Structure 1
Amino acid sequence: MQVTFLGTGTSGGIPVLTCGCEVCNSLDFRDKRLRVSVWIEVNNKSFVIDTGPDFRQQALREQIRQLDAIIYTHEHKDHTAGLDDVRPFNYLHGIRHLTLYGHSRVLNQLKREFAYAFDDIKYPGVPLLNLQEIASEETNQQFQIEGVNFTPIEVFHHRLPVLGFRVGGFTYITDVNYIPEKEMEKIYGTEVLVLGALQREPHISHFTLQQAIEIAQKINAPTTYFTHISHKMGLHAEVEKELPANIHLAYDGLKIILPNP
C-alpha cells in the first residue's frame, strides 16, 4: 500500500494570500502546502480522501490515472470544492460513474453545492456520481470499497462530527480537536498515524502542536505525521527539529509505503 500526501495545508493553503510572513515567503518546498488530502493505492485500487479546491493540481502533479472512489471526512469547502474536477475519470475510458462515500450530512451538502451533477436531466459532461452513505450506525464497524476494508473513526471538529479512516496499518485524521476514547480504541496498533495539527496557539476546532504530540504519544504508533498545517505553525525545517524522533510534519508529495491490509 502506498499513501501520497496530496496536500497538507489548512483551508487557506500556504502561502496565504496577502501574507508576507517567513513561512509564506519560504523557498523550502515543504512550506508550500495545498489543501489537505491523501491518495491511497492498495490492491490495484486507487482512493482519494477529500477533494479540496486544489484537487486538479494535485492529481496532475502526482499523475493520478485511476480513481475508484472518493471518501469524505466532512463537508467543509477545503475538503470538497474540487469535486467537479473528477470529470476526466468519468469519461476517459468510456462513461463510468464514480462513487462518493460520506456521512449523509456530507452527501446532502454535495448535492446542494453540485446540484447540476444530480439533476434528473443532466447537461452533457457533468460529473457522474453515485452516493454511498456511511450511516451513523456503521461508524462502529468496517465497510468495504472495492474489496478494501475501511474503518471509520468519528472525531470532533469543535461540535462537528468528522470521520477519520483506518486502512490496515494506516490511520488518517485531519480536522480534529477531540477524539472520544471509544474511537481511540480503533486507532491503537496502527503503524502510521496521520493527525491534524494546526498551529501552536489554541484553536476552537483543531489540535495545537502540543495537543497533537500528546495524542500521538498516547496512541504510540511507530510513526506519526502531522497534517492540516497553518502558516502560523512555523517553518517546516525548524518545527521538525522540535518533534520527538517518531513524529514528523508531513509535506505535499510525501509518499509512505505500508504492507497491504
Structure 2
Amino acid sequence: MALDFSLTFLGTGTSVGVPVIGCDCNVCRSTDPKNKRTRSSVILQAGDQSILVDSGPDLREQALREDLRVVDAVLYTHAHMDHVVGFDELRAFCWARTEPLPLYATEECMSTLKTMFSWAFSPQNVFKGYIKPGERLIEGDFTIGALKVTPLPVEHASVKTIGFLFDYPGARRMAYLPDVKRIPEATLELIREVDVLILDALRPEVHPTHFSLGEALLTAEEVGARETWLTHLGHDNDHAALEKSLPKGVHVAWDGLRLPGIC
C-alpha cells in the first residue's frame, strides 16, 4: 500500500512568501525556481484520499500548478492568516461533492474559522457552489481511510498550534511541523526516529516564534529522523547555498517536491 501514499509540498515559504514584495535581495531576485516559495502547505495522497494540510492564501495558484482537482479533507495546524485565508478557494473542491467537506482543527482553530468565515458555517448557507464545511474537532488520534493522523502539539506564538504525524500501512512515517518555536517532550517522544521529519526553519537568526536554522538542526539531531526536510523558509535562505551547508540526511524542501511513501 505504500505506493498509494505520498506527500507533496504545495508551498514552503514563510507568511509573506518569497520573493517578498518590494525586496531586491539576491534570493528575491533569484532565477532559481526553488527560491520561489508560496505559503507553506502540503497535500497527501493516501489510497483514494487527497488530504490537504492548511488552506493558505496561495491555494489557488498551488492547486493549478499541481493539477489538484480533488480534496477529500482539510487538516489545520493553526489559525494564523498564512494558513487559513485561502479558505474560500475550497469551493472548487466542493462542487462535485454531495456531502460537506471535512475540516479537522482544534477547538480554538475551528472557532476562529467559524468567526472569519461565518457565512460558510451558517445554516443559511444552502446555495449551490459555496463551500460546505464539515466540522471535525481534533481531540486525539483519528483516521481518514487507512491513514492514521496523530496531532502533535507544539509552541508557536500565542495560538494553539499542532503538527501532524502520518502513519499509512507499509509507508514511511512522516511528521509535519511547519510552525514551531518549541516542541514539548511528549511530542518529541511521538516523533523520535520517525522516517521523515518536516520542520520549520525560518531563517539563520533567532526568531521569537519560529525555529531558526540552528534550532531546527538541533531538533533534527535529537529526533533522529532518517530524513529531515526544512520548510517555512524566508528570503534569508538561498536554496542552493543552504542545501550545500546542511549535514547528511537534512535537505531543503521546495514547492512541488513530492516525497513518496517508500524510498
TM category, shorter: over 0.9
Within 5 Å, give how 1:68-147 maps onto structure 2.
68-91=72-95, 93-122=96-125, 124=127, 125-135=129-139, 138=140, 142-147=141-146
- The amino acid across from 1:107 in the alignment is M
Residue 15 of structure 2 is matched in structure 1 by: 11
State how far apart, in whole Å, the 2-side matches of 1:41 and 1:65 are. Answer: 12
State how far apart, in whole Å, the 2-side matches of 1:130 and 1:259 are. Answer: 32
User: Percent identical across equivalent pairs?
Assistant: 40
Give structure 1 stretches of 5+ with no counterpart. none
Within 5 Å, give how 1:1-261 maps onto structure 2.
1-91=5-95, 93-122=96-125, 124=127, 125-135=129-139, 138=140, 142-168=141-167, 169-232=173-236, 234-259=237-262
- How high is the TM-score relative to the length of structure 1? 0.94
CA positional deviation for 1:94: 4.8
CA positional deviation for 1:97: 1.4
CA positional deviation for 1:148: 1.8
The alpha-carbon distance between structure 1 residues 215 and 127, as it changes in their structure 2 partners (threshold 3 A), is same
Aligned-residue Cα RMSD (Å) equals: 1.4
State how far apart, in whole Å, the 2-side matches of 1:68 and 1:193 are. Answer: 24
What whole-Å deviation, never above 9, does each CA across 1:158-203 have from its counterpart, x for those lacking one? Answer: 3433111011201100110100111101001311100000001111
What whole-Å deviation, never above 9, does each CA across 1:206-251 have from its counterpart, x for those lacking one? Answer: 010011000001111111000000102x211011111002101100
Give structure 2 stretches of 5+ with no counterpart. 168-172
State how far apart, in whole Å, the 1-side matches of 2:29 and 2:55 are. Answer: 26
CA positional deviation for 1:123: 5.9
Q: SS where residue 175 of structure 2 aligns?
A: strand
CA positional deviation for 1:78: 0.2
Cα contact 2:79–2:159 (8 A) shared by 1: no
Q: SS where residue 216 of structure 2 aligns?
A: helix
State how far apart, in whole Å, the 2-side matches of 1:146 and 1:77 are. Answer: 29
The alpha-carbon distance between structure 1 residues 46 and 94, as it changes in their structure 2 partners (threshold 3 A), is closer
